Chains A and B, each alone.
Chain A
């Protein structure tokens, strides 16, 4: 009987060890600049259907995480929209509405005249893949799908140098 108890304890400890290893190997690590941009497919915030990041391969992408409840996001909305209009078809601007109520996100886009496509990330899954620490954050992805430039934590309105440098880096062939 003692052997049975020892075996049970051993199995329990082994199970906990497997859980620990699984947890450590499945932790999300922030992606590295120069490495591939984490893939995702997400529902559009306005209209139907989804957007797959992979489908944008071949064009530089400015990926902006925001939320309607985030005050600094309001401050940078105009800078992003103006830049999207300035670069037109040369750069794809893609908004990611992070941990937000869908209706609030839609009202945010309308209030700030955002015309570029935006996807929903209510669960925060996309944000986790990018190792998001908060909103707003902006990433730059080149035509080959690699993260380039310096990813911007906080509003781009106060870091416009880094913002436009990031776009230029994404535009490089």
Chain B
């Protein structure tokens, strides 16, 4: 990352970014590995120079929290859908008590 403009080096033409690109090119010419170059940059500029956080310690949260959030959201959504679909099934009505049943029969008989 460009330390002054906080974009990736390939997107930045800031003087600081240009110097870092030059440093990386120099180290590649000297056959330094990607790991070595990254370590040297971190030693020089701190971990914020990396575009992605390392896979260790508290930085792991940056990798796993979004996944946990997505999974949690999906579970909540699934639970909500399940509850909604259950609430739409009409429950069977309880049978009428014999007295009311007889009264209904009487009324119906009057109409017929």
Contacts and interface: CB of A to CB of B under 8 A. Distances in A.
A82 to B, nearest CB: 25
Contacts of A101: 19-20, 23, 44
SS of B interface (majority):
helix
B4 interface: yes
Interface string A132-170: 000000000000000000000000000000000000000
Interface in B74-99: 76, 79, 83
B23 A99 contact: no
A118 B76 CA distance: 56
Contacts of A103: 23
A67 B76 contact: no
Interface string B21-54: 0010000000000000000000011101000000
A120 B44 CA distance: 8
A100 B15 contact: no
A122 interface: yes
Interface in A103-128: 103-104, 120, 122-125
Contacts of A1: 79, 83
A125 B18 contact: no
Contact of A99 (B16, B18, B79, B83): B16
Contact of A125 (B15, B20, B46, B79): B46
A10 interface: no
Contacts of A120: 44
A4 to B, nearest CB: 10
A70 interface: yes
Nearest to A71: B15
B15 A70 contact: yes
A147 B71 CA distance: 51
Given A99-B3, A124-B3, A69 B48 contact: no
A145 to B, nearest CB: 26
A122 B15 contact: no
A69 B17 CA distance: 9
Closest 7 CB pairs of A and B: A123-B46, A69-B15, A99-B3, A122-B45, A122-B44, A69-B19, A101-B23
